[in-house]
Every structure is written in C-alpha cells, then in structure tokens.
Structure 1
Amino acid sequence: MSHIDFRLIRQLWMFLAVAEEQNFGRAAARLSMSQPPLTEQIKVLEHSLKLQLFERSRRGTKLSPAGAAILPAVRQFALQVEQLERVVREVAAGQSGVLQVGAITSAMLDTVPPLQDYMRRQHPHVTVFVREIDSADAIPALQAGDLDLAFVRLEGDVGQGIATLPMMEDRLAVALRKDHPLAGQSQVRLKSLSHEPMVMPSRQVSPVYFDMLVGLCRAQGFAPRVMHEVRSVSSQIAYVSCGQGVALVPASMRRLAPENVVVRPLREKTMVVTAAAAWNAERHHPLLDEAVAWLQAQRPSRMTHAA
C-alpha cells in the first residue's frame, strides 16, 4: 500500500493560496508563514512535478498554462480535504455516525428534509451530508460507497445490487407558453404534441426517465421532436418560458411556472415516478437501514397524486 505524501498535500495547499492571491506575500500571510519558505516550497513542488506553475515578473505573479491546467483539480482536492476534516472533527466531538445522501434538486425540496428531521430527532449526533447529483450518477456512487442513499429518477429493477423505492409520484402534464394554441385546454392529448418542438430532460442525466417519456410518445404513434435536452425540470420550464418548445413535466411543477407558462395535465392519465430512494443492498450501514425503514413506513403518505 502506498504511503500518503503529506508534504505534497501541504505544498498543494500552498500552490492554491498563491494561485488565488496572485502574490507570494499575501499568500504567505494567508497561510500564516513567512514568504521565503513559501517560495522555496513552491520551487520544490515545481521540481517534483517537472512543471513551471507560475510566471514571475516585476509586475507580479500569475499562473503559467500548466498551473492553470491543474488548478481546477487542486481546488476539487482542497474541497474534499475540507470535507474529510469536517467529518473527522464531528466524529471526534462525539458524533455517532454519518449518512451521505445525494439527491436531484426537486427531491432536495420535497423528500430529503423530512428524512433529515426524523434522523435528527432519533439521533441528535448523526450528521447527514446532502449534495446535489444527477440521476445517472447515483448507481456508480452507491456502488463505490461515495453515497449511502440517493433520491433520483429511477424506476423498476436497475440491477447491480441497487435497491429502489418509489417515493414521489405525479401525473404527467405538459408545460406550454400561455399564447400557445393548446394552452386554453384543461387537458391536452399527448398525440397533439406530435409536431411540437420538445424540451426534454437529458438522457445523459436521467436515462430511465428520458426513455420512459419517449416510450409514451411512441405508444401514441409518434417520435418526439427533441429540440433541447436539459438537466432539470426547472430548466424545462425556463426553456418553455423562452419560447423554445413544450415540455412533458410532472403536474406539480405548475408551482414553478412563471406567469407566461401554463401546465396542463395530459388527457391520458399517466403517472410517473418523480423521485425514488436508491441504496446499495449489498452494503451494511445501520443508519441507512433505519432511514430506509422510515421511508418505507412513510411511503403511502408521501406518494403525491396530482389531479
């Protein structure tokens, strides 16, 4: 097993400080050290990486092309180290556990907060970390152990040891600009959208959901004219507002619609899963087991059936 090079970690922190301050003096002050040792450590880092990271002149210090190329990865590394430090501090302070949760944006608004409230009541010392993810990222993250629980758009058997539980269900609707000829109808036939440009959720982000919507259109005898693929339902609404097409969305999304957009249910009463809990059934985590049991108990009251 390779040893962790703590000296390299320290040097990368120094590199980040100099890159952000664009001045060795200010970077040294930020790091609570004097400038000569900082300058020397940057030279050592450049030598070990065989890269010139900064261009120095009388006018100041700026990143070299090589330095600019590695800066995003170093920033990401710094964020991960900060998260590790936070977890270690909380565990050392008496925290009894950590639950890593990933969720799509809509689930962060509706589904995750009640679970957090429950876990806080039952386990005041538990830390629940929540971060936004795309549905397509859930399964790899659950398999790798980067996430314990995910709230994403998944339906049915996804295999690979991943268990799912539908949490939110809604009636499928269409978002239209108010000046659209179909906007005056109380319900819209799916087939009437056959020639409309459509704004769809990205297949790369949520492949199961995308394929389900396409399948519904094909069942009505047409292939959707996909003009834009976007990363979220709120983006679909925004594109419709800008006159970029119509969008199939959950009916409850009418609450996000601006004044120039209406959301009309489809005449074909089609229910879609808008959020499902997913976890790795092959990993044991006591906090996860308790969270899943609570979700299963809450599911009948959490399922939303929009009119």
Structure 2
Amino acid sequence: MSTIDFRLIRQLWMFLAVAEEQNFGRAAARLSMSQPPLTEQIKVLEHSLGIQLFERSRRGTKLSPGGVAVLPAVRQFAHQVAHLERVVREIAAGQTGVLHIGAITSAMLDTVPPLLKHLKKAYPQLTVFVREIDSVDAISGLESGELDLAFARLDAEAGDATATLPLTEDRLAVALPTGHPLASLSRIRLKSLASEQLVMSARQVSPMYFDMLTSVCRAHGLAPRILHEVRSVTSQIAYVSCGQGVALVPNSMKKLTPGNVVLRPLHEKIMVVTAAAAWSTNRHHPMVEHAVEWLRSQKR
C-alpha cells in the first residue's frame, strides 16, 4: 500500500508560488521562508519529476515549457487540497450543519428562499452558503464536492451519481414588447413566431433546456431564428425590454416583467421544468437528506 508523500505536496505548493510570483524572492516571502531552501526544494522537485520547471536568467524567472504544461494540474490539485482542508475543519468543529447550495437565478428568487427559511427554523446553528450557478455547472459542482445541493434545469437523466427531484413546472409563454403586433392576442401559436428573432437561454448554460425548447419549436412548425443566447431567464426579459427580440419563458416570469414587456401564454400547452433539486448519491449529508425530504413534502 502506497503512502502519501507529504514532501511532494509541499514542493508542489512551492512550485505554484514561484509560478504565480515569477520571482523566487517574492515566492519565498509568500511562503514565509527564506529563498535558498525554496530554490533547493524546486531543484529537488525538478530532479524527481525529471523535467525543468523554470528558466532562470538575469531578467528573472519564468516557466519552462514543462512548467507551463504541469501548472494547470497543480492548480487543480491545490484547489482540491483547499476543499479537503475546509471539509476537515468543518468536521473537526462538529459543523454537521454546513450546507453548500448552488442555484440558477430564477431558483434563487422563488425555490431556495422557502427552503432556507425552513432549515434555519429547524436548525438554528445551520451555516448555509448559496452561490449562483448555471444549470450546466450543477453536476460538476456536485461531483467535485463543491456543492451539496443544486437547483437547476435538469431532467431525470442527469447522471449515474446524481439524483434529481423536479420541483416546479410552468407553462411556456412569450415575452413581447408592449407595442408588438402579437401583444394584442390572448394566446400565441408557436408558428406565429416564424419571422421573429428569439432571445434564448444559451445552450452552454443549460443544454437540456435549450435542446428541449428547440425540439418543441420544430415539432410545432417553428424553425427558431435565434438572435441572442443569454445566461438566464431574467436576462431574456431584459433583452426583450431593450427591443432585442422576443423570448420563450415560463409564464411565472410575468411577475418580473417591466412595464414595456408583456407575457402571453402559448396556444399550445407546453410545460417546462423551471427548477429541479439535484444531489450526489456518492456522499451522505444529513442536511441534504432533510432538505430533500422537506422539498418532497412541499411537492406533495
């Protein structure tokens, strides 16, 4: 059985400091050590790896081609070690109630706040960190351990190690400028948008949602003409407000529309998942289990 080489870990930390400072003196100061031992440890690391990491000259220190090649992996390693340290500190402090949540913007407006209110009441000592994410970041965040719970536009086939719970569904509507000819209609057929330029949620942000919308459009005789791809539903509304096209958005977004934008339901009854909870099945977290159970009870 192999053992952890803590000396190598320390040397990689030193390499990262020199690579970022591009100066042995500044790197030594950053590491709270003198320069000669730092220089010696970098030489030992270069010998162990069998490559030159830095090119040294009177003009200063810069990464060699080999150093450039290994730097991304070392940065990723440092990030993972930092995450490990945070988890260990939380466990050592007995903080079983530390929860890291990632959520898309719309979920932060309606789905997440009631959950946080419940959790704070049930667990007054709970520490919750919430950050905005794109749907595409949910799975990777859960797999890496950066997130314990995610709220995004996902379907049931999110991944083998990810469980999902669809939470909110809404009918698809069209956001239009108030002066648009179609704004006078009570319902709008999808094919009526054939000549319109659409503002869509970007595929790179939520591939499943984008593919579903474009598929639905084509199934109802509309070949979407996409003018802008944006990062959130609220951004879609903002672009429509600026006269940059029309947008297919959940009907509930009418509560966020400015005075120069109207929402009209589609004639076709098309329901979309506006938020789903997702969590890793590879890790046990009591707060996640409690949160999911509460979310299920609210859905019932």
State the TM-score, normalized to the length of structure 2: 0.78
Q: Secondary structure at the match of 1:3?
A: coil
Q: Which residue of 2 aligns with 1:303?
A: none
| Residue 266 (structure 1) aligns with | 265
The aligned counterpart of 1:30 is 30
Partner letter of residue 16 of structure 1? Answer: L
Secondary structure in structure 1 of the residue aligned to 2:195? coil
Deviation at 1:171, TM superposition (A): 3.8
After TM superposition, the structure 1 stretch with the greater mean CA deviation from structure 2, 57-66 or 178-187, is 178-187
Structure 1 stretches lacking a partner, 5+ long: 301-307
**Counterpart-to-counterpart distance in 1, 2:17 and 2:209:** 43
C-alpha deviations, 1:40-76, integer Å up to 9, x for none? 1122222333333323222222333443343344333
The CA distance in 1 between the partners of 2:119 and 2:100, in whole Å, is: 13
1:121 corresponds to which letter in structure 2? K
Q: Where do residues 103-142 of structure 1 align in structure 2 (5 Å cutoff)?
A: 103-136=103-136, 138=138
Partner of 1:81: 81
Give the aligned partner of residue 304 of structure 1. Answer: none
Q: 1:283 to 1:60 in 2, by over 3 A?
A: closer
User: Is the 1:97–1:126 Cα contact (8 Å) retained in structure 2?
Assistant: yes
- Superposed, 1:93-112 pairs within 5 Å as 93-112=93-112
Q: Contact conserved, 2:183 with 2:264, CA < 8 A, in 1?
A: no
Aligned to 1:191: 191
**Deviation at residue 30 of structure 1 after TM alignment:** 1.3
Q: 1:109 to 1:59 in 2, by over 3 A?
A: farther
Partner of 1:277: 277
For 1:246, the aligned partner's letter is: V
Q: Is the 8 A contact 2:156 2:163 kept in 1?
A: no
Listed one character per residue, the Cα deviations across residues 76-120 of structure 1 (whole Å, up to 9, x for unaligned) are 332332222122222212212544434333323432343334333
Q: Which runs of 5+ in 2 are unaligned?
A: none
Aligned to 1:15: 15
The CA deviation at 1:188 is 4.0
Question: How much does 1:178 deviate?
Answer: 6.5
Partner of 2:50: 50
Deviation digits for residues 194-242 of structure 1, max 9, x if unmatched? 2333333344543432233224323432232345544433454566567
1:6 partnered with 2:6: yes
Partners in 2 of 1:34 and 1:101 — Cα distance?
A: 41
The answer for the alignment partner of 1:292 in structure 2 is 292
- Once residues 73 and 241 of structure 1 are traced to their aligned partners in structure 2, the CA distance between those partners, rounded to angstroms, is 44
1:60/1:281 Cα in 2 relative to 1: closer, same or farther (>3 Å)? closer
TM-score scaled by length of structure 1:
0.77
1:274 CA drift (Å): 0.9
Corresponding letter in the other structure for 1:266: P
In structure 1, what is the equivalent of residue 212 of structure 2? 212
* Structure 1 position 34, deviation (Å): 0.4
Out of 81-90 and 171-180, give the one that drifted further: 171-180
Contact 1:183 1:262 in 2 (8 A): no
- Compare 266-275 and 278-287 and name the one that shifted more: 278-287
Q: Percent identity?
A: 72
Q: Match for residue 223 of structure 1?
A: 223
Structure 1 residue 37: Cα displacement: 0.8
Query: Aligned pair in 2 of structure 1 residues 67, 163: CA closer, same or farther (>3 Å)?
Result: closer
Contact 1:153/1:208 (CA < 8 Å) preserved in 2? Answer: yes
Q: What count of residue pairs does the alignment treat as equivalent?
A: 299
Aligned partner of 2:116: which letter? Q
Compute the displacement of 1:275 (Å).
0.6
What's the secondary structure of 1:275's corresponding residue? strand
In the alignment, is the contact (CA less than 8 A) between 2:240 and 2:261 conserved in 1?
no
Q: Counterpart of 1:166 in 2: which secondary structure?
A: strand
Change beyond 3 A, Cα 1:125–1:92? farther
Going from structure 1 to structure 2, the CA distance change for 1:163 and 1:189 (only over 3 Å counts) comes to same
Separation of aligned partners in 2, 1:246 and 1:46:
58
How has the CA–CA distance of structure 1 residues 184 and 68 changed in structure 2, closer, same or farther, with 3 Å as cutoff? Answer: farther
Counterpart for residue 170 of structure 2: 170
Deviation track 1:220-277 (CA, whole Å, cap 9, x = no partner) reads 3223234554443345456656766433122444676678x73522342544221111
